[in-house]
Structure 1
Amino acid sequence: MAIVLGPNRYGKAETRVVHVTRDGETHHLKDLNVSISLSGEMDEVHLTGDNAAVLPTDSQKNTVFAFARKHGIGEIEEFGLLLARHFVASQPTIRHARVEIEEYAWERHGPHSFVRSGQEVRTALVHSDGPGGQESVVSGLTDLVVLNSTGSEFHGFIRDEYTTLEPTDDRILATAVTARWRHRGTDAAWGRSYERARRCLLEAFAGTHSLSLQQTLYQMGRHVLAECGEICEVRLSMPNRHHFAVDLTPFGMDNDNEVFFAADRPYGLIEGTVLDDAAPAAPRAWS
């Protein structure tokens, strides 16, 4: 039996950086969580403990802060590309850089006062092999909580000896959307693209009379691809946040789909990919 070192990477996880742009009395705020992973000629550090090829993770953290000062922080995709390209171009032993960023939104409540905006988080995942090599950008969001109070049905499903769920032609449909979308290139207008994709997800969720959450998922991804030519693949994860009508008959009351119990566990988890099948594959993009 031959024992060998397999694929590996290392980096600095979850560097929290907040950047304030001072435009006179009006300030602008960017709040990010940046995770970096590097790979390349790293065999010796694993096999013999030789660190000659290793850029310390502390240096990676410091680079995030230095780049925030040097370049500012605009769109997170752009910031991720700057970092990823820097690590590969500046270190001969590093062949590939992966940068994942979460952005936390703040609402302005005065020239320099802000309130954290909800729980939705914007995301970006960047891969770069350096100048002349392959690159990919996956944008997205997590925890986009949406709900339709009607316009959702669920019936015609398999029934077996363990089935107790009753068919319905009027139910609440609620979910917390995690969506990621792959760009065809690395030169999109990131901010406008994100806003369009997010708007398309919401339009399709609201505009689809749903016979299943799977159907809604597909329509959401399809709408993004139809309206955003710079995007070639959408991956969605949508837990079904079940709402059950409460039986009020013990209290002499009816309940015409007005009072519900919101159950957080267990939940159905619906996941799927919608893609332009003519677009080239990018297997590294998602990992």
Structure 2
Amino acid sequence: MAIILGDHQYGKAENRIVRIVRDTPRHEIRDVNVSTCLRGRFDAAHLTGDQGEVLPTDTQKQTSYAYAKTVGLASLERYAHALAVHFVDDVEPVDQARVELEEFAWERVSVGGAEHDFSWVRSGREVRTVAVTVDADGSAWITGGLKDLVVLKSSGSEFHGFLEDEYTVLEPTSDRIMATSLVAKWRFGAVDVATFDFDAAYAAITTAMVETFASFHSLALQQTLFQMGKTAIEAVPELVEVRLSAPNKHHFAYDLARFGIENHNEVFHADDRPYGLIQASVTVEGAPDAGPAWDQYSGLV
């Protein structure tokens, strides 16, 4: 029986980088987690322990920090693309590089009604995510996204007419709380990395999804997810696919009748587990193949 080496990769996970731009009295801040992952001709390292083709993960870390200065973080996607291109073009054994980012948002402190030039408080209702994969032939796959976006609506959501069997005890409802902690990822088609406004696209996508969640009268969370993906693509035509994952954060009307108190969908118990997990992708028909766009960084260090 032959035993062979399978797929392998390595990188440096979660380099926490804070970049301050202080060229003017009004400073700017970007705060990110950067993870790098390299794939290529590293068989010897696994099979014989030969490290001759292995760029140390510490070097990947140092490069990530250096690029935060030389390339900058004004555009997260451009930074990730430049870093991935460097590893593929300048490190000979590397055939493919992936860079993933998480951004932690800050907002300016207001002093006397005016924004302070160099003080912030942590903000952000969600964590922004970016991933860029670059191949040796120059092909690039760019994805954006978010996680931990917690949204809730107290009405405008129904759930009834579902399949039932001998174990079904859930009561149908035409008025319920709908809440979730959304994870969304989107894939761009052909865009010019140097000129495309990724920040504006992020704002348009998140606005479209949140407004759809709020305003769309839902017969099921599945239906809402499709509509959110659809409106995101309509808002940013450069998108070719949106993937959504939504744990159903259940809210159950609390039994107050035993105390002689009426509860007309006003007092709830928020139950964190178990929970329904609804996932869907919304794709432009005829979109280019995803390739390695959706690969997940594995945490290998």
Q: Which runs of 4+ in 1 moved over 2 A?
A: 185-188
2:281 maps to 1:276: no
Counterpart secondary structure, 1:229: coil
Q: Provide the residue aligned with 1:125 in structure 2.
A: 131
* Residue identity matched to 1:5: L
Please give the secondary structure, in 1, of the residue aligned with 2:199: helix
Contact 1:34 1:102 in 2 (8 A): yes
- Do the aligned partners of 1:123 and 1:142 also contact (CA within 8 Å) in 2? yes
CA distance in 2, matches of 1:100, 1:63: 14
Whether the aligned pair in 1 keeps the contact of 2:161 and 2:172 (CA below 8 Å) is yes
Which residue is equivalent to 2:161?
A: 156
Match of 1:62 in 2: 62
1:104 aligns to what?
104
Tell me the distance in 2 between the aligned counterparts of 1:24 and 1:184. 36
Deviations 1:100-140 (Å, cap 9, x if unpaired)?
Answer: 1000001110221111114510000110014x432100100
**Distance across 2 between alignment mates of 1:59 and 1:242:** 45
Secondary structure of 2:229's counterpart equals helix
Deviation at 1:74, TM superposition (A): 1.1
- Equivalent in the alignment of 1:92: 92
> After the TM superposition, which of the residue ranges 221-230 and 138-147 deviates more from structure 2?
221-230
In the aligned structure 2, how far is the partner of 1:27 from the partner of 1:226? 35
Counterpart in the other structure of 1:72:
72
Post-superposition CA distance 1:12-39 (Å, at most 9, x none)? 0110000111143322111000010001
1:196-237 Cα offsets, whole Å, 9 max, x none, are 111111121112101100000000001111221100000000
Does 2:173 match 1:168?
A: yes
Q: Secondary structure at the match of 2:232?
A: helix
- Cα separation, 1, equivalents of 2:129 and 2:160: 35
The equivalent residue for 2:298 is: none
1:151 partner letter: G
- Which of 192, 195, 201 is equivalent to 1:193? 201
Q: Give aligned-pair identity as a percent.
A: 52
Q: Report the Cα distance in structure 1 between the residues aligned to 2:275 and 2:172, rounded to whole angstroms.
A: 17
Contact 1:242–1:264 (8 Å) recurs in 2: yes
Which deviations, in whole Å up to 9, do the C-alpha atoms of 1:178-204 show, x marking residues without a partner? Answer: 000000024232111111111111121
- 1:18 partner letter: V
What residue number does 1:45 align with? 45
> Relative contact order (alpha carbons < 8 A, sep ≥ 6): 1 or 2 greater?
2
Contact 1:135–1:186, Cα closer than 8 Å, also in 2 = no
Q: 1:30-58 deviations in whole A, cap 9, x for unaligned?
A: 10000100011111111111111110000
CA contact (8 A) 1:136 1:186 kept: no
Q: Which amino acid aligns with 2:129?
A: T
Mapped to 2, the partners of 1:57 and 1:274 lie a distance apart of 36
Is 1:116 paired with 2:122?
yes
Is 1:179 the counterpart of 2:187 in the alignment? no
Query: Which deviations, in whole Å up to 9, do the C-alpha atoms of 1:225-278 show, x marking residues without a partner?
Result: 122110000000000000111111111111111111111111100001000121
Shift of residue 283 of structure 1? Answer: 2.7
Determine which of 252, 269, 272 is the counterpart of 1:264. Answer: 272
Q: What's the TM-score, normalizing by structure 2?
A: 0.92
- Provide the C-alpha distance between the structure 1 equivalents of 2:15 and 2:173, rounded to a whole number of angstroms: 47
What's the counterpart of residue 252 of structure 2?
244
Instruction: Kindly indicate whether the alpha-carbon contact (under 8 Å) linking 2:186 and 2:241 is maintained by their aligned counterparts in 1.
Output: yes
Unpaired runs of at least 5, structure 1: none
Q: What letter corresponds to residue 223 of structure 1 in structure 2?
A: T
**Matching residue's letter, 2:212:** A
2:65 and 2:276 mapped to 1: Cα distance?
40
Q: Partner residue of 2:214? A: 206
Amino acid at match of 2:235: E
Give 1:88 deviation, angstroms: 0.6
What TM-score results when the alignment is normalised by the length of structure 1? 0.97
Alpha-carbon distance in 2 for matches of 1:148, 1:236: 18
Secondary structure at 1:68's aligned position in 2?
Answer: helix
Residue identity in the other structure for 2:35: S
